[in-house]
Structure 1
């Protein structure tokens, strides 16, 4: 998805997903955190680069295809650059100007950064798991701490990620996150059974970033 990011979850949706996290964690010693970001980056340089490229290409095209004077071509060049810059002010257009690989890399970097800064790597047994969603980029990722990664291979999360992305495309983010939380909880339960005395070191809440 490269369009305008949808509204983030309302209070009721966040509460229901938090309850899903609580239920999932009753079956495992793993700690699940959900983070939903409106976008992973603003990509402010994208319109500038696009305008520069258009400014370089347009004059040559006009020279080859039209009998216009140098002054007319210069004016057309300026007009095209201004149109691209103005269009790039719109989030939908700006996102469309960014290659998919760059959007994916930016979202991946943001997921790892959030994992570290939110303290998910400080749990006992290193069992923190982050379910990360960047809406504008259409990117979902599950980041697991080393205690979990040592037992659960990365491909094991693919179904949960696919479930979440399918729900995002249908504009059913809450349902997708709830399902993903349940799947992650089931995977964790297989290798990380619940403790006799639950720690619940990380709060069962949904973090949203606008």
Structure 2
């Protein structure tokens, strides 16, 4: 999925999404930023840990279950390490070694970091909203600033996020993001309607991180 990011979000698709963001913001003081990341983490340290554990456990299993000599056990241990490290070169297989809860936690952390590093906390009324999507982890997150948090409960976004992940599973990234942006804009318009002089403080372009 991560490798298809450029194909799924072509420059034309990103331009269309930017226009969707602009329209979604038209009726609200909220500021929506969309970020799509190929992955939230590489997880290489976890693979190394799994390799170490497997290499330590295997000899004891072979000693208990076989009559192999020391040389054969060492060769089996080396082969197991080589197979795991080779398999881990595939992002899909590497992610399969990582518990889903940890993948989701890593994506949430990445969304929080992006919120602060991209300046979403600097709007005049603290109404920044980040829609973050990590393709490798198949995880979506909405991070909001204090002005939005006071008016909209975090649970209010759950359905929007679930629909986005469902669309992602079908390979419909652009249409899923479009629907999510529109739904976020509708919710913000209800709770944080635009004032007479609300500026457009954050860029509408989609941020893509390969």
Tell me the TM-score normalized by structure 1.
Answer: 0.95
Tell me if the contact between 1:51 and 1:82 (Cα under 8 Å) persists in the aligned partners.
Answer: no
SS at match of 2:92: helix
Aligned to 2:169: 169
Quick one: distance in 1 between partners of 2:77 and 2:3? 35
Aligned to 1:109: 109
Q: Where do 1:9-88 residues align within 5 Å?
A: 9-88=9-88
Moved beyond 3 Å, runs of 4+: none
Quick one: distance in 2 between partners of 1:47 and 1:115? 28
1:86 is displaced (CA, Å) by 1.5
1:63 is displaced (CA, Å) by 1.6
Quick one: distance in 2 between partners of 1:161 and 1:105? 15
SS at match of 2:2: coil
Aligned to 2:145: 145
Quick one: distance in 2 between partners of 1:174 and 1:139? 15
Matched, 1:5 2:5: no
Aligned to 1:121: 121
Task: Tell me which moved more, 109-118 or 196-205.
Answer: 196-205
Gaps of 5+ in 1: none
| Aligned Cα root-mean-square deviation (Å) | 1.1
Q: What does the per-residue CA deviation read over 1:66-87, in whole Å, with 9 as the maximum and x for residues that have no partner? A: 2211211111111111111121
1:6 is displaced (CA, Å) by 4.5
Quick one: distance in 1 between partners of 2:47 and 2:26? 48
Quick one: distance in 1 between partners of 2:203 and 2:78? 53
Quick one: distance in 1 between partners of 2:48 and 2:198? 52
Q: What does the per-residue CA deviation read over 1:80-115, in whole Å, with 9 as the maximum and x for residues that have no partner? A: 111111211221111111111211111111101100
Tell me if the contact between 2:151 and 2:192 (Cα under 8 Å) persists in the aligned partners.
Answer: no
Matched, 1:207 2:180: no
1:131 is displaced (CA, Å) by 0.3
SS at match of 1:74: helix
Quick one: distance in 2 between partners of 1:47 and 1:107? 18
Gaps of 5+ in 2: none
